[in-house]
Structure 1
Amino acid sequence: MSRRTLLRGTALGAGAVALPSLLTACGGGPADAGKTVAMGSNASDPVPKKAYAEAFKAYAKQSKDDRKVKVNTVDHNSFQENINRYLQSTPDDVFMWFAGYRMQFFAKKNLLHDISDVWSGFDGFTDAIKDQSTGEDGKQYFVPYYYYPWAVFHRKSVFQKYGYEAPKDLDAYVALAKQMQKDKLVPIAFADKDGWPAMGTFDYLDMRINGYEFHKALMAGEKAWNGPEVKEVFDTWRRLMPYHQEGANGRTWQEAAQGLQKSEAGMAVFGLPQPGQQFPDDERDDLDFFAFPEINPEHGQDAVEAPIDGFLLAKKGKNLKNDKGMDAAKDLLKFLATAEAENIYLTHDPSNIAVHEGADTGKYTELQKKAVELVSGAQQISQFLDRDTRPDFASTVMIPALQSFIGNPKDVDGLVNDIERQKKTVFAAA
């Protein structure tokens, strides 16, 4: 993902100001430690919120100790923006978050509980999934729940109506966008008010032009942002910008996805849940996608963006100060790591893909099956810009940089020089 959302000011010392209402909603937890597990949830959209509720209900039903889950749901963006203060105050026992660098960052800051003992009893996860759940110290901190690929989404009916074909390379992509304009469609639905959606487009352009290894090194601060490689990314994006929906910095991702749903836009670069959760049940069969087009034949369409979402144990969780509370939280994590738990969730939110090898894929929609094929055929898998780099760099540098580019894509040299200058400062503080 996803969301899938970028947090502004997540890094320690980055100056984030937590909303009092957020901390009131998320902090504290129930008093009956050992019986009730407090869950910090960023699943504020109706579809995932219901799907999680069903999974937690199933946990309570099968619990031998009559345990239940108290869910504290906070607006998705607000949760992400205040996660650092949240974890340092009195957070819920378990909270929803992301794999990879995003998890490793907070583990390194000693804000997460090591759950290696719980992981020792897991099965059904590949070594690659375990690696994404492991901190820099070699210990596990994350329980994976589902993943979702990013691609270029569209309506089958719209493509059939106008006789469009999925483009394989950039020239064909541009030609298709031009034709959509002639057909009075917005070629590419686009939004970045939330700060993170444009990152998916940047990632794909970078990986298609420069390859996954360069992209990975760039996110690690090891490559120059004002070098020719990144300039080419923004120059290519500038070529595509006339086909993007105008006013993106004032539009939410939900609004952009709804434009696709209403057949007002022809395409949109999104993660599977974003359009999937905006399409009514009786229209989901009309949703389709194609892999982001090839730009540099050397790298083809090798890399796929496929973030993993799941659960972590907050180090300062109020109910984790005693053995009963800790046992209850770990018991919930053990349940969430089962194929059964993933099956329940995906029954109610078919916009994601299970990570457990024992999950029931027989009930997958055609879109889910296609998503599995896309990821399984990838030679490299990225986690998303705001998950593959330092949180403070993603939030304080890249959000305003990309929004600035969207507002004025002409000064690429000034943009990349400014990013590089800030990158040196941020990474020097590591």
Structure 2
Amino acid sequence: MNISLQKSAFSKKRSAIKITGSKSETNRLLLLKALYPQIKIENNSNSDDSEAMTKALSQTSQSTIIDIHHAGTAMRFLTAFFSMQEGKEVVLTGSSRMKERPIKILVEALQQLGAEITYKENEGFPPIRIKGQKITKNKVILKADVSSQYISALLLIAPKLQNGLELTLEGEITSVPYIKMTLALLNEIGVKTSFSDNKIIVYPAENVLSNSITIESDWSSASYWYSIIALSEIGTEITLSSYKQNSLQGDSALAEIYSNFGVKTIFKDCELFLHKAENFKPETLSLKLNNCPDIAQTIAVTCFGLGIACDLSGLHTLKIKETDRLEALKIELTKLGAEILVTNDSLHLKASSEIIENVSISTYQDHRMAMAFAPLALKTSIIIENAEVVSKSYPTFWDDLKQIGFEFSSNNTI
């Protein structure tokens, strides 16, 4: 399905949107609930990724094939989960793109602990066969600059391991907020942890608190509304719920980052009020996004829409996402008239004053490509290809855009 968005589509200057729970928090808590059924979860994410996690964790047969499609978080977390399910054997597989996304670092870490995991096709990539074992070893060394999902996968199963886990990270740590999120959720259910220098310890816990945890709404999903406000006229407002000022999510950096575009953020009673206060445009926006790489696409597109140059770094993990997001951004922004350079871990966009109209944006089976480019409809007519891909993290995105006055048509032409 392609969606054609008309220019100047935002007709409501004051709107309210309810966004479902964070995919990151939901998937962590779904795994913890599988380990400790007494945990109760509210405001679950309705994303495809979380549905894939839920379905996989409900598998009860002794030997089965589990297809998690495009759900990268599920692949990492479930690899760790099934490795310590004694007597259970599974094959974890996914989409063609998932079979190109590396899993070797996590597999080798689990093998250090005594897990039995083998590759079904290509060395270092899914699909993988996992034979669940009783894991008694508790020390692992891992490079610190790898995807935080590898680290979180190990931490989430750690309290159920006989001797817990002592994880040593070598080098500069990537995406610290996501690691801290995992540890905070473990603490919330009563698991003792420590994180000092480059060593993380999770202590064994047979029983945990029977807590009811309400998941905060997804900050990554909020990024598209920040972009809409930034690209809108002074006085435009959107209210988002439900959010916390002391969020566990690294993408909450949006509040500070978008102040560079004149967007004011106010927290009140678990609601987030976004207000376009001024047309402030820095000459060049320079940001290191290693703690929140998932919002890089949104920021780059916002800068392009406002005619601002930007230098974004700390983005090496974007190379192994649903697509190579840096190359995808370069290709699609160039179509729109941008001058852009990308490296293995950075993006450099020159300031521009003209946007080419009626460009068709390829989304590369990547939900964030679709949603990051949609706000440009405030500046030019634009077509989003394979728009249904948003269901991976934000299934109601197009309905919410329509609710605030965006006008668009859709067809089933791929």
TMscore range, shorter length: under 0.3
From the two aligned structures, give the one with the greater helix fraction.
1
TM-score by length of 1: 0.26
Higher RCO (CA-CA < 8 Å; seq separation 6+): 1
From the two aligned structures, give the one with the greater strand fraction.
2
TM-score by length of 2: 0.27
